[in-house]
Amino acid sequence: AQKITQTQPGMFVQEKEAVTLDCTYDTSDPSYGLFWYKQPSSGEMIFLIYQGSYDQQNATEGRYSLNFQKARKSANLVISASQLGDSAMYFCAIRKGTNFGNEKLTFGTGTRLTIIP
């Protein structure tokens, strides 16, 4: 079974500061993918960034980067120069296996990020 742990239920960060959201995972699969999603108060889950277990470099997407430490089973999300619009719930997720037709995402409990002006 796979498991995602997000230990920060809530965070408050000053606007323009960088923020790191923690995520640790547990899996017995040699091949897996790690995802971060953002969920604003509107409810929609917005895909932010993806890291494959065999990727040599940390993933980056604009202001988002993923600090992937495979030995520690850690996949922290870093948001640089935070903005008020970054206030939302953030979910870390892991995808198991490579079976066709069986993509299953396991999500963590999320971190509520609030950006303070």
- Rank residues 71 and 99 by Cβ distance to other proteins and give the closer one: 99
Structure tokens at 69: 């430490």
Q: Which of 81, 74, 68, 64 is nearest to 115 (CA)?
A: 81
- Rank residues 46 and 116 by Cβ distance to other proteins and give the closer one: 46
Residues 6+ apart with CB under 8 A from 31: 53, 54, 97, 98
Nearest approach, Cβ of residue 8 and other proteins (Å): 14
Nearest approach, Cβ of residue 33 and other proteins (Å): 8
Nearest approach, Cβ of residue 117 and other proteins (Å): 26
Q: Which stretches of the chain bind other proteins, using CB under 8 A?
A: 4, 33, 35, 37, 42-47, 50, 91, 93, 95, 98-110
Structure tokens at 99: 């079976």
- Rank residues 26 and 44 by Cβ distance to other proteins and give the closer one: 44
CB 94, CB 114: distance < 8 Å = no
